[in-house]
Amino acid sequence: MIKRLVGLVGLGLVFVFRYAFAAYPLITDDTGTQGKGNWQIELNGEYEYDKNEIKSWTKEIDTVISYGFIDKADLVLTVPYLFLKEKQNGILTLDENGISDISLELKYRFYEKGGLSFALKPGISFPTGDENKGLGAGETTYGILFITTKEFKKGIVHFNLGYTRDESTTRKNLYHLSIGCEIPANKGLRFVGDLSGDSNPDEEDDTPVLVGIMGLIYSPKENLDIAFGIQVGLNNVSPGFSILSGIAIRF
């Protein structure tokens, strides 16, 4: 079970980096940046329950700091904290918590015209989490994400295509594909949705990890976002049911 958790944590640290995104709780990133000299601080949480032969609970709290060092580029630091628990046949077999693998990303928007924009987002995660406790991958992991955002009259669509190199899993080369959307309900409220697929970190299983998300983002002020979402795994190798919540402040 710990190997499975480590594999999913490894995927999350580069691709399922919802916590680094302006549009949390989406998995799919957007091309938006903070602007030169501006900051964003996020505190995001996830509670996951997976009911199989082994029942598992995962809580994750992430602190995300984004800084716009030029108008078109951000540096993003993510510090995740995990709580892991599992039971087998009613017996507690895992109960651990601690800092997971800290990551650093650079998002650069290189094209923007007529509501269409493109960005690249290379990232690296450091093995700061305790591998033996299932809190980290135990290896430095790196990857890159290609991001597309298209604005329409009635909403916004985001598309991501990514690659990760992860030495901690049996499948070293991992790929990511996702699409997300934002639909404004009124001036301060957006409905969001997301579908994503990732390579299975287990080389012996070609079944992709598939996830769907539905949620909303409420912005009572221009510099404040409050987010809520529900995530569901779409097959038997995907994470179980999760509740997502977060807050972002910009200054």
* CA-closest candidate to residue 202, choices 6, 57, 71, 70: 6
- Which pair of tokens denotes residue 157? 């669509």
Q: Are 106 and 119 in contact (CB under 8 A)?
A: no
Q: Given pLDDT bands bounded at 50, 70 and 90, which one contains residue 53?
A: low
Query: Which residues constitute the domain of residue 96?
Result: 2-250
Q: Are 231 and 246 in contact (CB under 8 A)?
A: no
Instruction: Determine phi and psi for 62, rounding to 5 degrees.
Output: -125, 135
* CA-closest candidate to residue 196, choices 210, 208, 213: 210
Q: Given pLDDT bands bounded at 50, 70 and 90, which one contains residue 51?
A: confident
Quick one: pLDDT at residue 56?
85
- Give the separation between CA 7 and CA 168, rounded to whole angstroms: 8
Q: Are 170 and 204 in contact (CB under 8 A)?
A: yes
Domain count along the chain = 1
Q: What are the Cα distances from residue 129, in Å, to 25, 108, 146, 217?
A: 23, 28, 27, 30
Residue type, position 38, single letter = N
Three-state DSSP state, 93: strand
Q: Given pLDDT bands bounded at 50, 70 and 90, which one contains residue 215?
A: very high
- What CATH number is given to the structural domain containing 106? 2.40.160.40
| Percent of the chain's residues with pLDDT above 70 | 90
pTM of the full predicted structure? 0.89
- Give the separation between CA 158 and CA 116, rounded to whole angstroms: 10
